[in-house]
């Protein structure tokens, strides 16, 4: 059995930020199921929303966030995270993250701030269109060289060990975690007085997603099985502009492209956002995604087009080098041709319910980043608030946990993992079929536009799939594929159950059977298995 003062599940900006700070006070393990850089953070293009300009204010950022969240944000949480932002940005700059600057008079420079949908001011700090990669690589350099941090790559958490599951009658709490070592196939028992979930979101629960393959909702599923409270899982954000190409189904076209003047067009070259919102292409993401979905269904075309050809070619190549080069590889010169785009699942606005210290309802279990539901995003996330939240909440978790000291004193005996009489999975085709079926039914029945009948069909099928997956889980040796399938079907069911309970349209939850927004639903959807 291994033992650490702090165990962090996930290696994105939230997990790495917490680990780097906590390592000054004890031993830290970072457990990540692929390599360290394989996290949603790495693929974030747009940037970090933060008030850094004299033309901006905390009040404006707060109001923009509340407006985008459509009545479900917690105003106190929004203000706390927004006002904590500048200090976290300074830390990134000190770490060496190269945020873009622009030259002003007398050779002086200032931050080159971008604007995205829903923002009333330019406030998005960026490093061209690979902001997440720059942040991720800077943090990884810092944690890989720290003597108190051990990074366990290609290790996947199986389940959280709790006092309740072991039969103790005292207050239930997190005691540790079982972790699969993918190389050996062995399941390790790791004692952790403080377990930090930083596992990201669940985009791969949908057939089309901007997320990497690792985004299978592992943290939410494990927290749910451990008895923690889960909130607002019906609010899955679909990014309006994912590249439409048969060989690039997950490549995001950043909202910053629209922020720099790109226009949305139909197949005939006509703009259409004027029919849907006064902010046109810079409307909140939920509005733009629904508008594109409606245009595709109305015209029968397979996509719409994002056109930035009116901008100078040099500017486009300099500001969006990754998008330019990627599209060029697929035969699209974005300086001369419009980009074919469709919406795709992008961000999980709900998750493990936490307070402003990142504490969940299960003692000893914390959640930071996309896996958590803090009250910042409400029914729809404001663009580029995700990296901001991840950094701020990682710091808040650190500030809350460190004064309490290490939690290794409770020497409860933790049982080793027992595989029992199980076999190697000999029919992987069944696992892959179930994976594909879950993602297709979620896309067809629980997508941008929903109905009661579609949700009920999804719920019925998911009940059967959960039973099938549970049978696999108990009869075969655990593998990463099997664990991800188990988590995927759990999270899918949580999304559907949450959506069925909200009989209104609000933010990202849009249903044809309940088009009106109702005051009685201006509350979180909270689920608990306990």
Q: What pLDDT is stored for residue 409 in this prediction?
A: 43
Same structural domain for residues 108 and 174?
yes
* Chain position carrying tokens 């015209």: 299
- Over residues 229-265, the pLDDT tens digits come to 999 999 999 999 999 998 887 899 999 999 999 999 9
Domain containing residue 43: CATH number: 3.50.50.60
Q: What pLDDT is stored for residue 277 in this prediction?
A: 96
Q: What pLDDT is stored for residue 418 in this prediction?
A: 87
Same structural domain for residues 78 and 207?
yes
- Over residues 325-363, the pLDDT tens digits come to 999 999 999 999 999 999 999 999 999 999 999 999 999
Q: What pLDDT is stored for residue 530 in this prediction?
A: 63
**pLDDT for residue 28 is more than 60:** yes
Please indicate whether residue 36 or residue 408 has the higher confidence score (pLDDT).
36
- Over residues 195-206, the pLDDT tens digits come to 999 999 999 999
- Over residues 444-501, the pLDDT tens digits come to 999 999 999 999 999 999 999 999 999 889 888 899 999 999 999 999 999 999 999 9
Instruction: State what percent of residues in the chain have pLDDT above 90.
Output: 88
Kindly state the DSSP code that residue 273 receives in the 8-state scheme: G
Residue 102 burial (10 A CB sphere; 0-12, 13-18, 19+) = exposed
457 within domain boundaries: yes
Instruction: Name the nearest CA neighbour of 216 among 205, 231, 228, 208.
Output: 205
User: Do β-strands 304-307 and 263-265 pair in parallel, antiparallel, or remain unpaired?
Assistant: antiparallel
- Please provide residue 119's backbone torsions phi and psi, each rounded to the nearest 5 degrees: -90, 135
Residue 201 CB neighbours (<10 A): 31
Please indicate whether residue 280 or residue 431 has the higher confidence score (pLDDT).
280
Q: Which three-class secondary structure string do you get for 286-334?
A: HHHHHHHHHHHHHHCCCCEEEECCCCCHHHHHHHCHHHHHHHHHCCCCC
Instruction: Name the nearest CA neighbour of 209 among 427, 491, 478.
Output: 491
Q: What pLDDT is stored for residue 407 in this prediction?
A: 58
User: Do β-strands 149-153 and 28-32 pair in parallel, antiparallel, or remain unpaired?
Assistant: parallel
pLDDT level of residue 422 (50, 70, 90 thresholds): confident
Same structural domain for residues 110 and 65?
yes
Q: What pLDDT is stored for residue 529 in this prediction?
A: 81
pLDDT level of residue 429 (50, 70, 90 thresholds): confident
Same structural domain for residues 67 and 176?
yes
pLDDT level of residue 412 (50, 70, 90 thresholds): confident
Domain containing residue 483: CATH number: 1.20.58.100
Q: Which three-class secondary structure string do you get for 95-116?
A: HCCCCCEEECHHHCEEECCECC
Domain containing residue 293: CATH number: 3.90.700.10
Q: What pLDDT is stored for residue 15 in this prediction?
A: 98
418 within domain boundaries: no
Query: Is residue 285 flagged as an active site residue?
Result: yes
Domains: count for the chain: 3
Q: Which three-class secondary structure string do you get for 428-460?
A: HHHHHHHHHHHHHHHHHHCCCCECHHHHHHHHH
**Are residues 390 and 13 in contact, defined by beta-carbon separation less than 8 angstroms?**
yes
363 within domain boundaries: yes
pLDDT level of residue 169 (50, 70, 90 thresholds): low
Same structural domain for residues 353 and 496?
no
Catalytic site residue from 128, 133, 285, 454: 285
The token pair at 30 is 């970072």
Same structural domain for residues 220 and 243?
no
Query: What is the chain's mean pLDDT, rounded?
Result: 94
CA distances from 53 to 76, 126, 307 (A): 22, 14, 29
Same structural domain for residues 282 and 378?
no
360 within domain boundaries: yes
**Are residues 285 and 316 in contact, defined by beta-carbon separation less than 8 angstroms?**
no
Same structural domain for residues 109 and 208?
yes
> Is this prediction's pTM over 0.75?
yes
Judged by average pLDDT, the poorest of 77-81, 373-377, 401-405 is 401-405
Q: What pLDDT is stored for residue 1 in this prediction?
A: 86
pLDDT level of residue 84 (50, 70, 90 thresholds): very high
Instruction: Give the torsion through C-alpha atoms of 482, 486, 491, 493, to 10 deg.
Output: 130
C-alpha span between 230 and 354 (Å, rounded): 9
Same structural domain for residues 229 and 250?
no
Domain end, chosen from 345, 364, 392, is at: 345
Same structural domain for residues 366 and 317?
no
CA distances from 429 to 272, 426, 435, 437, 482 (A): 43, 9, 10, 12, 12
Same structural domain for residues 323 and 355?
no
- What is the rounded average pLDDT of the residues 174-190? 96
417 within domain boundaries: no
216 within domain boundaries: yes
pLDDT level of residue 405 (50, 70, 90 thresholds): low
128 within domain boundaries: yes
pLDDT level of residue 158 (50, 70, 90 thresholds): very high
- What is the rounded average pLDDT of the residues 212-235? 97
Residues 6+ apart with CB under 8 A from 184: none
Same structural domain for residues 251 and 370?
no
Residues 6+ apart with CB under 8 A from 473: 482, 486
- Structural domain including 507 reads 428-522
50 within domain boundaries: yes
- Over residues 125-134, the pLDDT tens digits come to 999 999 999 9
């Amino acid at each position: 059995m291994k033992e650490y003062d702090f165990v962090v599940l996930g290696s994105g900006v939230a997990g790495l930020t917490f680990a780097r700070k906590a390592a000054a006070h004890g031993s830290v393990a970072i457990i990540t199921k692929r390599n360290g850089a394989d996290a949603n953070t790495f693929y974030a293009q747009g940037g970090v929303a933060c008030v850094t300009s004299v033309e901006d204010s905390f009040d404006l950022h707060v109001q923009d966030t509340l407006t985008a969240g459509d009545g479900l944000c917690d105003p106190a949480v929004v203000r706390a995270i927004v006002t904590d932002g500048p200090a976290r940005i300074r830390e990134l700059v000190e770490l060496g993250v190269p945020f873009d600057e622009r030259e002003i008079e007398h050779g002086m420079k200032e931050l080159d701030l971008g604007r995205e949908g829903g923002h009333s001011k330019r406030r998005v700090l960026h490093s061209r269109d690979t902001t997440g990669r720059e942040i991720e690589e800077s943090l990884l350099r810092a944690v890989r060289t720290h003597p108190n941090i051990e990074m366990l790559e290609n290790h996947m958490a199986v389940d959280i060990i709790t006092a309740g599951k072991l039969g103790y009658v005292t207050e239930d709490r997190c005691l540790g975690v079982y972790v699969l070592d993918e190389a050996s196939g062995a399941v390790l028992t790791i004692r952790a007085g403080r377990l930090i979930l930083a596992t990201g979101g669940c985009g791969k629960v949908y057939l089309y997603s901007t997320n990497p393959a690792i985004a299978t909702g592992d943290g939410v599923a494990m927290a749910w099985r451990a008895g923690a409270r889960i909130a607002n899982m019906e609010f899955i954000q679909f990014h309006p502009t994912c590249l439409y190409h048969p060989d690039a189904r997950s490549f995001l076209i950043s909202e910053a492209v629209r922020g720099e003047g790109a226009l949305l067009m139909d197949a005939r070259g006509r703009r259409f956002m004027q029919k849907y919102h006064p902010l046109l292409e810079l409307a909140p993401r939920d509005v733009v995604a629904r508008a594109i979905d409606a245009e595709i269904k109305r015209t029968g075309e397979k996509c719409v087009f994002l056109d930035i050809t009116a901008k100078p070619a040099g500017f486009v190549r300099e500001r969006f080098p990754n998008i330019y080069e990627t599209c060029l590889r697929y035969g699209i010169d974005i300086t001369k041709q419009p980009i074919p785009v469709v919406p795709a699942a992008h961000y999980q606005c709900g998750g493990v319910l936490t307070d402003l210290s990142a504490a969940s309802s299960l003692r000893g279990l914390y959640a930071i980043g996309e896996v958590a539901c803090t009250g910042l995003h409400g029914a729809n996330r404001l663009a580029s608030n995700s990296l901001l939240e991840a950094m701020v909440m990682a710091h808040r978790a650190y500030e809350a946990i460190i004064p309490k000291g290490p939690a290794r004193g409770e020497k409860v005996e933790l049982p080793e993992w027992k595989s029992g009489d199980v076999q190697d999975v000999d029919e992987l085709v069944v696992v892959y079929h179930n994976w594909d079926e879950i993602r297709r039914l979620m896309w067809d029945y629980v997508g941008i536009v929903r109905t009661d009948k579609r949700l009920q069909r999804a719920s019925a099928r998911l009940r059967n799939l959960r039973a099938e997956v549970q049978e696999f889980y108990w009869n075969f040796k655990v593998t990463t594929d099997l664990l991800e399938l188990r988590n995927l079907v759990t999270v899918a069911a949580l999304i559907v159950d949450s959506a069925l309970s909200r009989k209104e349209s609000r933010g990202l939850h849009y249903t044809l059977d309940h088009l009106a927004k109702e005051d009685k639903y201006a509350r979180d959807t909270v689920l608990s298995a306990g």
